[in-house]
Each structure stands twice: as C-alpha cells, then as structure tokens.
Amino acid sequence: MTTNVYSAILEAQSSGQSAALCTVIKSSGSVPRHSTSKMLVFADGKFVGTIGGGEMENRTIEAAQQVARSGQAQILEHSLVDPKQGDAGVCGGTVEIFIEPINPPPQVIIIGAGHVGRATAHLAKWLGFRIIVNDDRAELVSPEWIPEADVYLAGTLDDHLAKIKLNPQTYVLLLTRGVQFDVALLPKLLDADVAYIGVIGSKRRWTQALKELREKGVAEEKLARVHSPIGLELNAETPEEIAVSIMAEIVMLRNGGTGKSMRMINDQ
C-alpha cells in the first residue's frame, strides 16, 4: 500500500474500499501535528499518514472507521492536557479534526436477472448506482438483456463472491426465483459489511426461508438484517413498479427518509 495519502484515496476509490480522511483543521498550544496534517483510515482500521500518533490518533482511527461505514462526516475535538481527566495526551494543546467519508460510488448487486432484476438495474443505474448482475442463467447475464450493468457475473454467486468488493455502500438484492436460492445464498452474505440486504417474495415465502435458515443455525440478529418482503408497500405489480418499490426503499434508507407521504409530513 502506498504511503501517500492522496494516492491512497485514489486506490481506495478504484478498488471499491470505504475510507475516511482525517484532517487537522484547528490547533492551539503544543500539539504533535498542526493544521492540514492528514491521515486516511480504512473501514478495517488500516491507515496511511499520521495526525500525530499516540492516544489521540488511536481515538481518531476509531471514529474514522465509523465515519467510513456510516458515510456521515464529523468533527472530533481532542484536549491534550490531562489524561487523568480523559484527555488524549499531555502536550498541553487542543486539536480539532475533520473526518470526512471517502467512499466509492454506491453499488447495487442484483442476484437474479429476470424481469424484476432487469427493471431494477435500469432504474438503479439512472439513480447513479454501479450495477453488478449475477445469475446462473448465462443468457440473462448479458448486455443484450441488461445493458445498464457495469459487471456481469454468470454462474453461481460462489464462483464470484471473493471477487466482489462488498462495502458499506453496497446494496444486495436477492431477486431470485425461489426459496432454495435465498436459503443457500443468505448465510454467505449476512456477515458482510454492506448497507442493505433485500429478498424478494411474499410474506409466506420469507416465512419459509426463515424456518429453513433457523434450522441451519443462522442467528436471529443476522436474520434481522434482511429486508423481506423487499421494498416499500406500493401495491406494485409490474416489474417496473416493483423496481420503483425496491429502489424507493434503498433511497429512503440511504438518505434517512421515513417513506411517509410528503403531504402527511406537511400537514403535521
């Protein structure tokens, strides 16, 4: 890995890794590093550069990991006066650090490239997402069927999972054609540090999937991550309407929305 912060940012962007850039924006008194000092921290805790080392840097790395995962910037203030009072050092000064997310473009992984997968890829691309499409039916994983995809992965997901950069900006959609596919795939995805995992199907279908996953020993806290039935309730029927329902839920969660009618909100 490069030791240059700016080169590391470019590498993170090109490789699909989430990170956070820590910049000293204000300092006073005796401090180890002054304004504009920078450090890039990855979601896994690895870092490039330094803002001064010691406990101050350790605390900043922890905060930066959270920023890398959440995508929400923050300003961290450190007092370096009295460790007995919880300060991060004894230099005698104070430091303010701006921590901003450096995230790759959000990506949607569509597992199941049927009619709904095709419509969802079209809408997600229009919304600015990078599109990865996977299906065991090779004829559906092609530019002819889904021209909007950035990556085509024909075959089982097992064949490709190690190659996919899963990160906190990833939205995984299981738009498969049966419970058996969901039960086989979900245990391989539930530990991933992704923003969203959604499974298409009726409430009855998801109930059956839950039963089988529990019998496999999948923990309840992991199962609770899954959005199923997928999407917002729109009484959607056509593939295009279902795609709107799915992407509306993703945009809502991504932007911290409520899904309520704007009229209802304005009438409050």
DSSP 157: G
pTM for the model: 0.76
Band of residue 2 on the pLDDT scale cut at 50, 70, 90: low
Q: Between these two residues, 240 and 165, which has the higher pLDDT value? A: 240
Band of residue 84 on the pLDDT scale cut at 50, 70, 90: low
* Residue carrying structure tokens 């029927």: 237
Instruction: Supply the pLDDT for residue 163.
Output: 80
Band of residue 93 on the pLDDT scale cut at 50, 70, 90: confident
- Cα 70 from Cα 92, distance rounded (Å): 32
Let me know: does 124 contact 132? Beta carbons within 8 Å: no
∠ CA 7-9-11, nearest 5°, is 70
Secondary structure of the chain: what % helix, strand, coil (to 5)? 40, 20, 40
Bridge partners (DSSP) listed for residue 95: 27, 78
Band of residue 96 on the pLDDT scale cut at 50, 70, 90: confident
Let me know: does 41 contact 68? Beta carbons within 8 Å: yes
- Is the pLDDT at 193 greater than 70? The verdict is yes
SS3 153: strand
Residues found in the chain: 268
157: closest CA among 130, 178, 182, 194? 182
Neighbours of 187 (CB within 10 A): 13
Which numeric CATH code is attached to 107-255?
Answer: 3.40.50.720
What residue type is assigned to position 254 of the chain?
A: R
- Is the pLDDT at 241 greater than 90? The verdict is yes
Domain residue spans of the chain: 5-102, 107-255
- Cα 119 from Cα 111, distance rounded (Å): 13
Mean pLDDT of the chain, nearest integer = 88
* Residue carrying structure tokens 């999948």: 218
Q: What is the mean pLDDT of residues 193-217?
A: 95
Band of residue 18 on the pLDDT scale cut at 50, 70, 90: confident
Q: How far is CA 209 from CA 51, 187, 221, 246, in A?
A: 48, 12, 15, 19
